[in-house]
Amino acid sequence: MVQEPTDAIGPLGAKSMSESPFNPVAPASANARRDATGVRFPAVPLTRDRVWLRLRDAGVTEGSVNRAS
C-alpha cells in the first residue's frame, strides 16, 4: 500500500519538525561546565553571574575544581 503525499512543502510531502529551533550549544556548554566543575547548571542563559553564584553555592573554589585526567 502506497499513500500519495498531500502536502507539497517538502520532499515527498514531508515537513520539518523542530530542527529549526533546536540549538545544542547551550546544553553542550552547560554539560562541559558540569564535567569541569561537578556542578550542574540547569538554567540558561549561562551568564557569568549565574555560573559564579552556582559555583559559590556549591562550595567550589578555584583550588577544588575537578579536572579530567
% of the chain with per-residue pLDDT over 90: 38
- Kindly give, in sequence order, each residue whose CB lies less than 8 Å from that of residue 41, ignoring residues fewer than 6 positions away: 30, 33, 34, 50, 51, 54
Q: Count helices and strands (H / E) in the chain.
A: 2, 0
Distance CA 46, CA 33 (A): 10
Taking alpha carbons only, the member of 18, 61, 26, 65 closest to residue 46 is: 26
**DSSP letter for each residue of 32-56:** HHHHHHS----SSS--HHHHHHHHH
> For residue range 13-27, what is the model confidence (pLDDT) as tens digits?
666 665 556 678 888
Low-confidence ranges of the chain (pLDDT < 50): 69
